[in-house]
Amino acid sequence: MAENQNIEYKSSWHDDHLKWVCGFANAAGGTIFLGKNDKGEVVGISDHKKLMEDIPNKIKNYLGIIAEIKLHDESGKYAIEIVTPPYTVAVSLRGRYYQRSGSTNTELIGAALTEFLLRKSGQTWDEIIESRATIDDIDQKSVDLFLEAAEKSGRMPDVKGLILIELLEKLRVADGGKLKRAALILFGKDPGRFYPNLTVKMGRFGKTDDDLKFQETEEGNLIQLLQEVPKQLGHKFLIKNISFEGLLRIEKGEYPAAALREMLLNALVHRNYMGAMIQIRIYDNKLSIWNEGTLPTGITFADLRVNHPSKPKNPIIADVCFKGGYIDAWGRGTLKIITACREAELPEPEMKEEFGGVMITLFKERFTEEQLRKMGLNERQVKAVLFVLENGKITNKEYQEKFGVSRMTATRDLTELVEKSILKSSDTKGAGSYYEL
C-alpha cells in the first residue's frame, strides 16, 4: 500500500513524528507505520518492545489523545502501526497545531489557525458578528442585484415587505440586528475597510512570470466582483475569436464562459477572507485563478474530478450564493469547469495546491506538452503536434527535414498520431498532402 493522505511510512521512530500524529488527529485521522520504507516494504524496527510502551505514553502526555498501537511480525521483521482517529476538538503539540492536508503535514499559523480553531469550536469565519459594522455599511444596490438573481433562481423564500435588516436576518447574515462578517463580504459598501485584500488582481503576462505586460484590480463586495471581474477580463484581457456562419457573426471566447464563471465563483465563495487577494494570471496559452486556502478536510484534488460532497469553507456565504442561483449545493463547481473545457475540446483544467492556496488553470490549446507526453508519444511526435498548434499543419516532407528521419519513419509517426485521433490527414493525397488538428 503506497503512502497517501491517510498513511505515512517511517523506518524508525523519532519524537518529531508526534507532529504527524497531531496532524492526523486534526484532519480525517490516519496511520503511521514504523519499520517500513517509502514503498511500504517491511525493513524492521529493532527496539519494538520499548516503543510499544513509550509511544502510547508520549501520545497521551504530549497530545492528550489516545491512539491505537499494533505490532506486526512479518517473517521475523517487526513493524509498528499507529492508528490515530480524527478528533472533534483541536489537538496541539507543545502549543502548536498541525494538520494533514493531502500528503503533507502543515503547521497551522495566522489566519489558517484562526479558521481551524473556529471550525473545531463549531463556528465558521463568516458567521462571526462584526461589532464595528452597522446597517449603514450595507450597499442597497448590491442587495437589489442579489434579489433579482434570487427571484430568477426560485430558491429564495418569500421576503416581500421585509425591511433591510429583516431581510439580512432571513438570509442568516445578521442576528439580533447586528451584522455578521458574511453580510459585509456579500453586500458591504466598503468591505475592505473591515478586512484586508478583498481584491481581485488580474495580470497579463508574456512567456514568463516576470514579463508582466499590464494589470488591473477590482475591489468591492462579492456581488459587485461577480459583475465587474468578468467585464474587466472581457474588455482588456481576453480576445474574442470571431467567425461567420452565413451573415451571422459568431463570437467565441478564448476560454469557455461557463468555466471562467465557476472558477471565479469558487474562488470568491471558498476563499480565506483574511488571506491574500485573489490573483488571475492570463498568458498567451493559459489562464489561472489562485486563491488562498486549502481544500476541505477529507477532500482531495482527485475527488474534485468526480462527484463529491459539498463542504463549503464559508457556509453562510455559500448558502446566500445558492439562494441567488450563483452556485448549487452539490459540490459540482469543479465538474462544471471540467465539462465546459471538454465541450470546448480543450484539455482538462489543472487543479493543484500552490503557495498555501488552490490554483486552477485553463489551457487554451487543445493539447499541452505535458498531456502529449502522458499519451506516450515520442519526442518527435510531441514536437510535431506543438508545431501544428503553432503553424496549423505539417507535411511529411517537413517532418523528415525537421527531425532528420526517413520518409518511412515520418509516415509511421504521423500515421500513429492520426490513429490516436490527435492529428488528421488532409483529403489531398500524395503531393500537397498535410496533417492538421
Tell me: pLDDT of 106 over 70: yes
Tell me: pLDDT of 243 over 60: no
In tens, the pLDDT along 54-71 reads 999 999 999 999 999 999
DSSP state of 237: I
For residues 378-385, average pLDDT: 92
**Summary mean pLDDT of the chain:** 88
For residues 24-44, average pLDDT: 89
**CA count, 13 A, side-chain hemisphere, 89:** 5
In tens, the pLDDT along 289-313 reads 999 877 777 777 788 888 877 788 8
Using alpha carbons, list the distances in angstroms from residue 378 to 80, 254, 383, 385, 416.
45, 29, 9, 11, 11
Q: Is-contact 410 399, C-beta < 8 A?
A: yes
> Lowest-pLDDT range, 244-248, 373-377, 417-421?
244-248
Cell of 392: 496549423
Q: Is-contact 285 133, C-beta < 8 A?
A: no
For residues 222-236, average pLDDT: 91
Cβ of 158: how many Cβ atoms within 10 Å? 7
Residues 6+ apart with CB under 8 A from 350: 359, 360, 361, 363
Residue-wise DSSP of 116-172: HHHHHTT--GGGSB-TT--GGGB-HHHHHHHHHHHHHHT-SPP-TT--HHHHHHHTT
Measured distance CA(3)–CA(170) in Å, rounded: 46
Per-residue model confidence (pLDDT) at position 400: 93
Tell me: pLDDT of 158 over 60: yes
Confidence class of residue 208 from pLDDT cuts 50, 70 and 90?
confident
Measured distance CA(97)–CA(240) in Å, rounded: 48
In tens, the pLDDT along 118-151 reads 888 888 889 999 999 999 999 999 999 999 999 9
In tens, the pLDDT along 309-363 reads 778 889 999 999 999 988 876 778 888 999 988 888 888 898 888 887 899 999 8
Per-residue model confidence (pLDDT) at position 406: 93
Measured distance CA(320)–CA(155) in Å, rounded: 10
Q: Which of 289, 328, 291 is nearest to 312 (CA)?
A: 328
Q: What are phi and psi of 38, to 5 degrees?
A: -65, -20
